[in-house]
Structure 1
Amino acid sequence: MSVTIELKSNKVTVAVMRKMKATGEKISMLTAYDFTMASLLDQGGVDVILVGDSAGNVMAGYDTTLPVTLDQMIYHGASVRRGVKRALLVVDMPFGTCCGNPYDSLANAVAIMKGTGAEALKIEGGEELLPDIKKIIAAGIPVMGHLGLMPQSVHRYGGFGLRAQSEAEAEKLRRDALLLQEAGCFAITLEKIPAGLAGEIAASLSIPIIGIGAGGNVDGQVLVVHDLLGMNRDFSPKFVRKYADLYSIITEAVSGYVSDVKSIKFPSQDEWY
């Protein structure tokens, strides 16, 4: 069964996201790391495109996001920018670039904004990074927070498991979310936390809450586009719904090409000049 999506021509902005929260319209968000994919997502009608530091995993093959550099994020962000017309473009601040020195964090944030043409930044962390976040917001840069499972803190957690299962951690997450809102963040991503907690936070705050592995009672959802398209068979967490099986499509296409080249079926004379 095919579903027709009526694409909106209006540009998505931070203010539009606030209106979507107020009216109950769910927010769609996906990652992109290059021009071609960004163009496809934008034309598909996604509301927010995130240039995630998950590029380290899906584009570079790292086990974590930690090795991703500022220059690499700027490269990916600038590539995506050229493919985006309607969606709000958000870029991750990579590990070590927002880490407790507000002036250094601001300099890094400005470098990303200038180098990519992004419209907002996403920063992992709560109360501990409030001075940095406030400094960046005061400079006129919109910030999306990120709480729950924070991949840049993977070694502190000891893995990528469900977060905020204990009441102490859940209470800290509630407090951090409120503090981020009060600091001026325009939205928060909640990753891999109990659905009840995520829904509670979404209901208690006035800014949009975007979930990934955080249930359906939030204001929007985000996925890594390679996961949604089924390009990686080795990664299938519970919260990922695969809308395609590009792994099979691509490998079968490549196999067909290899076979045709070796059997001298490609190129045919119709494909010669």
Structure 2
Amino acid sequence: MSVNKEIKKVTTHTLLRMKASGENISMITAYDFSFARLFDAAGIDVVLVGDSASNVMAGHETTVPITLEQMIYHAQCVVRGISRALVAVDMPFGSYQSNSDIALASAIRIMKESGAHTIKLEGGEEVVDSIRRIVSAGIPVMGHLGLTPQSIYKFGTYAVRAKEELEAEKLKRDAQLLQEAGCYAIVLEKIPASLAKEVSESLSIPTIGIGAGSHCNGQVLVMHDMLGINNEFKPRFLRQYLNLQEQVTGAVKQYIGDIKSGSFPSESESY
């Protein structure tokens, strides 16, 4: 008789326990059912339905244009492919910045309509009220500090953040505020490794880095960058594990050639 081993789902509590035990957290973005299922089967801890869908799925220059409805659609697709991983969804630009009422309504829509487990939003002190409201409604919140891509038009550049003392001190204060407001984890993007180390050690909640060095409690990459689907984006922090752009292009060229030459389909591939 076969015994079905119960799949132990990753929860926000799991991530807190991982930080306490010194186990690093693995996180990757996904935007559809097929890749979500592959990543989940591989054993990833967290799947982030990133607003980077605006860039890699819709072809926009920034993350700003993607809508709440589009994020919910991508999240629905991802959730259907997940058995074990924690699914986090980015709240898109405009869905939480204006006031905490709108932020709470947006978070509720994501959770109810997608079936995801948690939301993520960018910012520090300025979004603390919204975080408190969302957490008080029973929705787990992951924070995001450092380079916050939704604010790209304010920054004017994707350069490393918090290199200057004033911005570094604000980031440290913001990290404490997010923890106090109820965040269970914080993404630290493109900040000096020494600052990320200091912040990670000062918090009881885990930090997940992207371009923030090795002292965070976990790491996240955009799947299109890590798998080499997009070879135009090659920042220092990116480790590319495949070159799918080259492999897919080669495979499609071969497919085209086989059709043109008449070798596909063969007799054995016909009915």
CA distance in 1, matches of 2:65, 2:159: 20
- Residue of 51, 57, 60 corresponding to 2:58: 60
Q: CA deviation at 1:104?
A: 1.1
Give the corresponding residue for 1:106.
104
Q: Which of 63, 68, 71 is the matching residue for 1:70?
A: 68
Matches within 5 A, 1:184-223: 184-223=182-221
1-structure distance, mates of 2:62, 2:36 = 23
| Partner AA of 1:196 in structure 2 | S
Correspondence for 2:237: 239
Amino acid in structure 1 at the alignment position of 2:229: M
Contact 2:7 2:83 in 1 (8 A): no
Runs of 4+ in structure 1 deviating by more than 4 angstroms, as ranges, are none
Q: Report the CA distance between 1:122 and its aligned residue.
A: 0.3
The Cα offsets for residues 110-149 of structure 1, whole Å up to 9 and x where unpaired, read as 0010111010000001100111111001000000000000
TM-score, with structure 2 as normaliser: 0.97
Write the distance in 2 (CA, Å) between the matches of 1:139 and 1:212: 29
Deviations 1:134-183 (A, max 9, x none): 10010000000000000000000001110001100000000000000000
Looking at structure 1, the residues matched to 172 and 241 of structure 2 have their Cα atoms a distance apart, in angstroms, of 32
* TM-score (ref. length: structure 1): 0.96
2:140 pairs, out of 139, 142, 145, with: 142
CA distance in 2, matches of 1:259, 1:146: 47
The residue number in structure 2 matching 1:155 is 153
Q: Could you say what secondary structure the match of 1:168 adopts?
A: helix
1:262 aligned residue: 260
CA offset at residue 100 of structure 1?
A: 3.2
Fraction of identical pairs, as percent = 58
Contact 1:100 1:128 in 2 (8 A): no
Among 11, 14, 28, the residue aligned to 2:12: 14
Query: What is the one-letter code of the residue matched to 1:63?
Result: E
Q: Which of 174, 177, 180 is residue 176 of structure 1 equivalent to?
A: 174
Match of 1:85 among 83, 92, 113: 83
Q: Structure 1 stretch 144-153 or stretch 224-233: which is displaced more?
A: 224-233
Which residues of structure 1 form unaligned runs of 5+?
Answer: 1-7
CA distance, structure 1, for counterparts of residue 249 and residue 11 of structure 2: 38
Q: How many angstroms apart in 2 are the aligned matches of 1:114 and 1:259? A: 47
